[in-house]
Amino acid sequence: MISNESLLLAAIAIPFLGSLVAALLPTNARNLEAWLAGSVALAEIGIFSVLYPAITDGQVVRSEWAWMPTAGLNFVLRIDGLSWIFALLIAGIGGLVFLYARYYMSPQDPVPRFFSFLLAFMGSMLGIVFSGNLIQLVFFWELTSVFSFLLIAYWHHDASARSGARLALTITAAGGLCLFGGVLVLGEIVGSYDLDEVLASGVLIRSHDLYLPALVLILLGAFTKSAQFPFHVWLPRAMAAPTPVSAYLHSATMVKAGIFLLIRLWPVLSGTEAWLWLVATTGLITFVTGAYLAMFQNDLKGVLAYSTISHLGLTTLLLGMDAPLATVAAIFHVMNHATFKASLFMAAGVIDHETGTRDIRKLSGLYRYMPVTTALATVAAAAMAGVPLLNGFLSKEMFFAETIETHDGSLMDTLLPYFATVAAAFSVAYSLRFIRDVFFGPPPTNLPHEPHEPPHWMRFPIELLVVVCLLVGMFPNYTIGPFLNVAVASVLGATAPKFNLAIWHGFTLPFVMSIVAMAGGIAVYAFLKLYNFDNRRMPWPAVGELIPTDFVGATARSAMRWIGTRSLQPQLRSVVCFAFVAGLAPLVGRTLFPETLQLTKIDAAFALVWIIGVVCALATAYQAKFHRLAALIFMSGAGIATFLTFIYLSAPDLALTQLLVEVVTTVLILLGLRWLPKRDERLLKTDSSMLMRRYVDLTIAMVVGTGLAMLAFAVMTRPAPQYNLAEFFLHRSYAEGGGRNVVNVILVDFRGFDTLGEITVLCIVALVVFALLRRFRPSPESIGSPEQKRIQEAFDVDHPDRRPGETIADYLLIPSVIMRLLFPVIGTLGIYLFLRGHDLPGGGFVAGLTLAIAIILQYMGGGAAWVEDRIRVFPLRWMAVGFAFALAGGGIALAFGYPFLTAFAYDLHLPVVGSLHLSTVLLFDLGVLAIVLGATVLIIIALAHQSIRTHRKPKAAAAEEAT
Amino acid sequence: MEIILALSIGALAGSGIWLILRSRTYQVLIGLSLLSYAVNLFIFSMGRLRTDAPPILEKGVPNTLAHYTDPVPQALVLTAIVITFAMTALFLVVLLVARGLTRNDHVDGRES
């Protein structure tokens, strides 16, 4: 026997698993998808019926798993009467919608996506009703918003579907954020997010100072989800979704999530002035406006959407009345509304499917073609209007009875029965119009298709739901009664009122209100028909219609226009300014410079180096626009000054690295210069706005430069803080790292993981460069040989004693001989630098760069073809091997149960050679070497190869040149 | 010494910022290099300026800050130098490819 706890887990897991399977089925597998989804729904219903006996006596089935125990959060699933009845609704309507969708979706629609989303939505919705933890509830809540978005935009080629989806997501997800905030406040008050603990703390919550903020935030979440005025605007737009989605999400289940939450938290949040006013007023406004606007819709689904809004308002109003009986009516009405509204949506879908239109003005007299559908829709619409012997009548009577009850005696309380009757009359009017204008009257003309009855199984879900409407309407006590009792008991507990679901209470006031509403509805319909309201524009409260079609997209675009830019310069300017302000902010109100400056004696040579360095920097800035080579040389000047500073100020490793990087960077940029455009004289022209921009930038540059100089000076002249980090490394470098070069030991041992990350970045950059250059398309004017090469070739042609290409071959003849001779020397130096790196300046980075320079020099001296004939250059392999070494060097420790990158050392005593210090760090450093070597060489030669490749000109450019 | 290095950092940073705010891709490339010199020197200077005290341990000398300069900023800057090279290489290639695609060398890919 499977325990109830595991059944509960299965109930959540099955739809999501089904969703995964559904996504993997073939594109056109409509039958298979429907079978799969239908089986999921049936399995759910089976699980619920097994669980039912465990919850009938007001008990709760709970199962808990540790989720984030440190934060006191558990993953809790719980089921009680209320969850059970909602779950049944979700699975039951879901199953019918799956069957209906099998026939509704066309063979061209990619159904795996559709059924996958629907099943995932079902799982999320069940997650909401089964959540025993409020944070978890919010998670599933947001998940339903996401799947609703995906389902509304299912036909994403349709612009209105996309914009409708965006609007729905924006409103419901924003509401979800509010709900999250509210739940956090609630958790703060109670000290726990566990639903059972929250439900037991009603008095504490209502008397707490934070009650009102929590209430408002939670209500915002519920009202946005349940399409309450003024957040209802998303629901009519969501009708762009396929009709099964509208029937399932946007009338039967998802929009009820807000109502569910209000019922769930009713015991702890209700019973205050604030609750009464906020919930009842919102419900009343939504109820009346929704019904009023529904009368003016010409789209069948539009009528149903506004009607849904109205009925959701009615339910909210019931919950706001703050009376136990009203809450009973609310739960009852949720169930009734789901049955008749889902069947009406499906009927609307059938009409759309079989006639090709949903416009009430075009439809007429359909009973001739589809008598059965006509009968079904008529019964469902009658339930919607509240006609006796149908389920809608029962809950509407209960509602009327509640409106008459005096609650607080305010004006609103007194007027409530009148509002209720008027809105009920409106709902009679739109129900009447839905049936009379569509199914009766003269035969239709100009319909896109010849109408006929739908396939039997497409009609079956409607038939079943209509039978439910009738059975509940006629025998409430034998059908819904017991389940309703269980649900009510789970919410209200001991205070649960006795209620009577009889269809005839005698000639009471509520019955009179029903009669008046019925007569009034017929009169309103006749009146509007007389004044030809079909072609009127929407009346004023239709705020939803005022919102432009693609509201969210348009807002986002205009926001981008104001706050965004496609231009880099303003962006960088704001980055620099922001960084400056961020750096300045902590300094405000403090003295920047210490009273006694700690200064070291000025060295004249150092001063001279930096006079040259600063001149180089300024010259670089001045020349970089038109004299790129000069700028590069000046930049290298500043680099050399930096290098000398490192040497002078006790940083030999930095100095070595800086010098080598300087060489490699210079070669790299020299190779790139060839592909840049020639000087464009037009760029010399300046206008006043350009000058203005330059002055602004010059000011920014000077201010930030000065600021950085002052900051650097302020720090350098302070005594060094006595902190332990430096001492830590100095003490342990030799004792624990086995190396005397502290910087190198930090890099390859203490902070080896950082270094591993860094060499990974280097690999990625090299591969990106390689990939970008493989399909390099240079600008057409850069494809031909450079001017210098052309002159040299022309010289060979003009001189009969010279062979073509001889000048270039002779070029740099003596340096290239020296470069060739230097190859073994530099190679040996590289290996030496590597081996001594642990104890003296050197190491993997420096050695890798040195070896790379040895190879690059050969390229410069001999040309790519010459080198590659003689040396095997496989930078990609070197990088791969290096990576393997680095991982192996770090991974050896894992094999012995130590953390990754723990170093092992072994002192080997060899005859003649003496003591040899072997360490896994050396292996790691060898990996660094190979990667630095491989990456550097790969980048440089990938760029160098572009000059000897033949580049095809783009067709357009070639044609342009030919003319 | 401090005043010289501070002024140099300021000059390098100012030149670099001026260049990264310009409209030609090459200017931005060179500007980023200058800026990284400035930033590297700035971080390096946080360990204070010491001559003849490299963090290479010698036998018989106590392993304290009194005898060696602070190795931590140096370790940080060493990786920064190599990453700067990678960044320069990537940006150079991106700007070359962008120039091939857009046929101009404006940072926005089009002359404004």
Which of the four pLDDT bands, split at 50, 70 and 90, describes residue B112? low
Decide if pLDDT at A118 tops 80.
yes
For residue A949, is it within any domain?
Answer: yes
Decide if pLDDT at B107 tops 80.
yes
Q: Give the number of other Cβ atoms within 10 Å of residue A128's Cβ.
A: 27
Q: What is the pLDDT of residue A954?
A: 58
Number of folded domains in chain A? 3
Q: Say whether both A500 and A620 belong to one domain.
A: no
Question: What SS3 state is found at A79?
Answer: strand
Q: Say whether both A296 and A360 belong to one domain.
A: yes
Q: Say whether both A717 and A764 belong to one domain.
A: no
For residue A305, is it within any domain?
Answer: yes
Q: What is the pLDDT of residue A532?
A: 67
Q: What is the pLDDT of residue A541?
A: 52
Q: Do A621 and B45 touch (CB under 8 A)?
A: no
In the predicted model, what is the mean pLDDT of residues A820-825? 93
Distance from C-alpha of A341 to C-alpha of A12, rounded to nearest angstrom: 26
Distance from C-alpha of A48 to C-alpha of A55, rounded to nearest angstrom: 10
Q: What is the pLDDT of residue A431?
A: 94
Residues of A in Cβ contact (< 8 Å) with B90? 765, 768-769
Q: Say whether both A435 and A398 belong to one domain.
A: yes
Distance from C-alpha of A244 to C-alpha of A102, rounded to nearest angstrom: 10
B59: which DSSP letter? Answer: T
For residue A110, is it within any domain?
Answer: no
Q: Say whether both A334 and A412 belong to one domain.
A: yes
Q: What is the pLDDT of residue A898?
A: 82
- What the block records as the tokens of A803 is 């062979």
Q: pLDDT > 70: what percent of chain A?
A: 96
Q: Do A569 and B21 touch (CB under 8 A)?
A: yes
Q: Say whether both A648 and A775 belong to one domain.
A: no
Q: In which residue are the tokens 């962006």 written?
A: A571
Going by C-beta distance under 8 Å and a sequence separation of 6 or more, which residues neighbour residue A283? A228, A313, A314, A315, A316, A317, A318, A319, A320
Maximum distance among all Cα pairs of chain B, rounded to whole angstroms: 66
Distance from C-alpha of A539 to C-alpha of A939, rounded to nearest angstrom: 68
Q: Say whether both A711 and A730 belong to one domain.
A: no
Q: What is the pLDDT of residue A537?
A: 58
Contact A313, A290 (CB under 8 A): yes
Residues of A in Cβ contact (< 8 Å) with B75? 743, 746-747, 751
**CA A569 to the chain's CA centroid:** 28
- What the block records as the tokens of A749 is 């041992």
Distance from C-alpha of A377 to C-alpha of A344, rounded to nearest angstrom: 6
Q: Say whether both A833 and A926 belong to one domain.
A: yes
Q: What is the pLDDT of residue A955?
A: 59
A46-50, A502-506, A856-860, A889-893, range with the lowest pLDDT: A502-506
- The alpha carbon of residue A699 is apart from the nearest alpha carbon of chain B, in Å, by 9
pLDDT digits over A762-780, tens only? Answer: 999 999 999 999 888 888 8
Distance from C-alpha of A35 to C-alpha of A31, rounded to nearest angstrom: 6
pLDDT digits over A915-950, tens only? Answer: 666 778 888 999 999 999 999 999 999 998 888 877
- The alpha carbon of residue A740 is apart from the nearest alpha carbon of chain B, in Å, by 5
Query: Would you call B46 an interface residue with chain A, using a CB distance cutoff of 8 Å?
Result: yes
- The alpha carbon of residue B32 is apart from the nearest alpha carbon of chain A, in Å, by 11
Q: What is the pLDDT of residue A59?
A: 84
Q: What is the pLDDT of residue A542?
A: 57
For residue A255, is it within any domain?
Answer: no
Nearest chain B Cα to A763, which residue?
B86
SS (H, E, C) A567-606: CHHHHHHHHHHHHHHHHHHHHCCCCCCCCCCCCCCCCHHH
A865 against A82, higher pLDDT: A82
Q: Say whether both A716 and A736 belong to one domain.
A: no
Query: Would you call B35 an interface residue with chain A, using a CB distance cutoff of 8 Å?
Result: no
Contact A65, A75 (CB under 8 A): yes
- What the block records as the tokens of A56 is 């009938």
Going by C-beta distance under 8 Å and a sequence separation of 6 or more, which residues neighbour residue A68? none
Q: Say whether both A692 and A743 belong to one domain.
A: no
In the predicted model, what is the mean pLDDT of residues A491-501? 80
In the predicted model, what is the mean pLDDT of residues A700-706? 96
CATH topology of domain B2-52+69-102: Helix Hairpins (1.10.287)
Contact A81, A490 (CB under 8 A): yes
Burial track A574-584 (b if 16+ CB lie within 10 A, e otherwise): eebeeebeeee
pLDDT digits over A232-265, tens only? Answer: 989 998 999 999 999 999 988 999 999 999 999 9
DSSP A884-902: HHHHHHHHHHHHTTPPTT-
Helical (H) or strand (E) element with A78: strand A73-79
Radius of gyration of chain B (CA): 19
Going by C-beta distance under 8 Å and a sequence separation of 6 or more, which residues neighbour residue A46? none
Q: pLDDT > 90: what percent of chain A?
A: 53
Show which of residues 70-109 on chain B sit within 8 Å of chain A, judged by CB atoms: 70-72, 74-75, 77-79, 81-90, 92-97, 99-101, 103-105, 107-108
Q: Say whether both A697 and A790 belong to one domain.
A: no
ipTM of model: 0.97
Beta strands in A558-692 (DSSP E): none
Q: Say whether both A418 and A394 belong to one domain.
A: yes
- How many alpha carbons fall within 13 Å on the CB side of residue A283? 28
Distance from C-alpha of B23 to C-alpha of A690, rounded to nearest angstrom: 11
Contact A109, A514 (CB under 8 A): no
Query: Would you call B60 an interface residue with chain A, using a CB distance cutoff of 8 Å?
Result: no
For residue A328, the enclosing domain spans 290-530
- How many alpha carbons fall within 13 Å on the CB side of residue A207? 4
Decide if pLDDT at A94 tops 70.
yes
Decide if pLDDT at B75 tops 90.
yes
In the predicted model, what is the mean pLDDT of residues B77-101? 92
Residues facing A915 on adjacent strands:
A909
Q: Out of B2, B22, B83, whose CB is closest to A716?
A: B2
A68-72, A299-303, B37-41, range with the lowest pLDDT: A68-72
A953: which DSSP letter? Answer: P
In the predicted model, what is the mean pLDDT of residues A23-45? 91
- The alpha carbon of residue A874 is apart from the nearest alpha carbon of chain B, in Å, by 19
Q: What is the pLDDT of residue A538?
A: 56
Query: Would you call A709 an interface residue with chain B, using a CB distance cutoff of 8 Å?
Result: yes
pLDDT digits over A645-660, tens only? Answer: 999 999 999 999 999 9
In a mutational test of the A interface, the residue from B82, B105, B106, B111 whose CB has the highest number of chain A CBs within 10 Å is B82
For residue A303, is it within any domain?
Answer: yes
Q: In which residue are the tokens 């723990």 written?
A: A902
For residue A558, is it within any domain?
Answer: no
Which of the four pLDDT bands, split at 50, 70 and 90, describes residue A549? low
Where are the domains positioned within chain B?
2-52+69-102
Q: Give the number of other Cβ atoms within 10 Å of residue A749's Cβ.
A: 26
Decide if pLDDT at A279 tops 70.
yes
Q: What is the pLDDT of residue A332?
A: 93
Which of the four pLDDT bands, split at 50, 70 and 90, describes residue A670? very high
Contact A655, A643 (CB under 8 A): yes
Please give the mean pLDDT across all residues of chain B.
91
Please give the mean pLDDT across all residues of chain A.
88
For residue A540, is it within any domain?
Answer: no
Query: Would you call B61 an interface residue with chain A, using a CB distance cutoff of 8 Å?
Result: no
Q: What is the pLDDT of residue A547?
A: 64
Nearest chain A Cα to B68, which residue?
A730
Packing angle, helices A652-673 and B25-45, rounded to 10? 180
